[in-house]
Each structure stands twice: as C-alpha cells, then as structure tokens.
Amino acid sequence: MSGEDAPRSPRAAVLTASEKQYRMVGAWIAGCRFVAVDFSGTLFEKANGHAAEFVDVDLRNAEFRGACLSDASFVRCDLSGARFCGADVRGARLLACQGLTLELADQLQERGAKISEFC
C-alpha cells in the first residue's frame, strides 16, 4: 500500500496545515464539532458556523468577519487576537476561553453572546 493509499490514523489531525490553508471563507461548518484543532490565523469570513462546537481549539488570530456563529459553542478555546467584526453571535456560548479581552467580551455580549468563566 503506498503512502497515499494508507488509511489515516484515527488520531490524525482533522485538517493538516496544507488542507486548511488558513482559509475557510464561506465554509459550511454548521453543526460541526471541532476538538483540539489548530485553526490559528484561519480566515472564517462569511462561514456558516450556526450551532458549531469548538472544544479546546486554537483560534489565535482567527478572523470571523461576517460569519454566522449563532448558537455556536466555544469551550476552553484560545481566542487571543481573534476578531468577530460583523459576525452574528446571537446565542453563542463562550466557556472558559482564554485570550478574550474585556472589550471584545463586552462587544460579543452586546450582540447576544453568553460568556462565562473566561480567563
């Protein structure tokens, strides 16, 4: 079996760096669950992430410009430098996320997000 035909290990990353290419523009990730994925620096512009779950995900410097994140969950994620300009965050839940500034937390709450236990 060649390297290309070999099955992926069940412990393999969901997306490799070359697969994600730091661009998820317009991606349909509604209802998807991401656990321990490196999405640092990823552009999620206009992505549909309604009810998506991000658990222990590295989202440092990610950009969610114009993304739909209504009812999405962010649990123990690193949001250092993440930007949510124009994102729909109504009903989104952020639990125990690090790197969230007070200013960004206030902006997200004003737009309908629920934040608890942030570091």
Two structure tokens written together for 34: 């991401």
pTM here is: 0.81
pLDDT in tens, 7-50: 444 444 555 555 555 788 889 999 999 999 999 999 999 999 99
The two most distant CA atoms of the chain are separated, in Å, by 55
CATH class of the domain defined by 21-119: mainly beta
pLDDT of res. 7: 47
Helix, strand, coil shares, percent, the chain, to 5:
10, 25, 65
Question: Domain-by-domain residue ranges, the chain?
Answer: 21-119
Residue pLDDT, tens place only, 75-111: 999 999 999 999 999 999 999 999 999 999 999 999 9
Phi and psi of 105, rounded to 5°? Answer: -60, -45
Closest CA to 64 of 75, 55, 52, 56: 52
